[in-house]
């Protein structure tokens, strides 16, 4: 098993990509804390994954924008399991508007979940990783860490910002054996994307079918969605890679939509 008894915290893992990563990690023997705003869903997912084994999972309530909740959640994991080896900062939302119509409160909410959340969770985990002189931090970026699309100013700004945070952390963490990388998925059919299909159809004045075929999959090499399992496989590689040869990188998983 590639993650036997490794301790991982995955934020936003009650659903979608984070849940698939938690599942993949538990299948490789890890102890995974599913940290999510939705406490009941996190606990239900953890019970389900523990049944599947061979690793196990716990669910913890965490709003990644709250310094207090992040610190409490990380402290709970460390007290229960003795440390933290892997952080996947994955919690995220999407809000789409043209810039001139973007409510400032919604801009701030999105930036806070993606950027404050990534910063606060990394900050809370690092001392424990530095003490052990090893660790892997994985940030969930997006093709939108590298490209822009209309209506997504806040998301594109946040996802570009994550690259800067991850690269700085790679440099600061290097001497302590802590690696920092970003996964950049293309469109994955999770609740986050399902919600956008009618919203984009409305805002762009096209049909929902056109949103899927043209906007979401138009630039892929094979008109296919990336799957949660594809992303989880990359998250496993980044978590289990043994040296700091692989740090400060951003890996695009997008059926060729983006090749940078
Ligand atoms: P999802 O909606 O299925 O899951 C997101 C999870 O984050 C939910 O369980 C939600 O409760 C949780 N969450 C939201 N706000 C939170 C907060 N403040 N604190 C803690 N948890 C919070 O979405 P997903 O598609 O699985 O997205 C996961 C990540 O992947 C996001 O960062 C997203 O930007 C990124 N991503 C998604 C896609 C895609 O196409 N689905 C593509 C590229 C990147």
pLDDT digits (tens, 9 = 90+) for 91-148: 999 999 999 999 999 999 999 999 999 999 999 999 999 999 999 999 999 999 999 9
Nearest-10 Cα torsion for 169, 170, 171, 177: 110
Task: Mention every residue, 6+ apart, whose C-beta is less than 8 A from residue 51.
Answer: none
- Pocket flag, ligand 1, residue 187 (CB < 6 Å): yes
- Mutating to test ligand 1, I would choose from 37, 39, 72, 92 the residue with most ligand atoms within 8 A of its C-beta, which is 92
Position in ligand 1 atom list of the atom nearest CA 141: 44
Position in ligand 1 atom list of the atom nearest CA 17: 26
Question: Could you confirm whether domain 7-185+227-253 is CATH 3.40.50.720?
Answer: yes
Domain ranges for the chain: 7-185+227-253
Q: Whose CA is nearest to atom 17 of ligand 1?
A: 63
Q: Residue 65, SS3?
A: coil
Q: Residue 69, SS3?
A: helix
Task: Work out the average pLDDT over 242-249.
Answer: 97
Q: Residue 75, SS3?
A: helix
pLDDT digits (tens, 9 = 90+) for 196-215: 999 989 988 999 999 999 99
Structure tokens at 13: 């893992």
């Amino acid at each position: 098993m590639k993650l036997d008894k490794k301790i991982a915290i995955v934020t936003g893992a009650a659903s979608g990509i984070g849940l698939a990563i938690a599942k993949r990690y538990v299948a490789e023997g890890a102890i995974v804390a599913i940290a999510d705003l939705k406490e009941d869903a996190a606990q239900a997912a953890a019970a389900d994954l523990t049944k599947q084994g061979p690793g196990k999972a716990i669910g913890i309530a965490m709003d990644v924008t709250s310094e207090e909740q992040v610190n409490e959640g990380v402290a709970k994991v460390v007290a229960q399991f003795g440390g933290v080896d892997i952080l996947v900062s994955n919690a995220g939302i999407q809000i789409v508007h043209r810039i001139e119509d973007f409510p400032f409160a919604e801009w701030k909410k999105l930036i806070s979940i993606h950027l404050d959340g990534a910063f606060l969770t990394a900050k809370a985990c690092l001392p424990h990783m530095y003490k052990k002189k090893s660790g892997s931090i994985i940030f969930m970026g997006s093709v939108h860490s590298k490209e822009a699309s209309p209506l997504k100013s806040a998301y594109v700004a946040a996802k570009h910002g994550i690259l800067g945070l991850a690269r700085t952390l790679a440099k600061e963490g290097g001497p302590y054996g802590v690696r920092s990388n970003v996964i950049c998925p293309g469109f994955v059919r999770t609740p986050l994307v399902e919600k956008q299909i009618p919203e984009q159809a409305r805002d762009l004045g096209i049909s929902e079918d056109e949103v899927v075929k043209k906007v979401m999959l138009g630039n892929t090499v094979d008109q296919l969605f990336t799957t949660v399992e594809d992303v989880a496989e990359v998250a496993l590689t980044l978590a289990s890679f043994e040296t700091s040869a692989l740090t400060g990188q951003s890996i695009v998983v997008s059926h060729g939509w983006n090749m940078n």
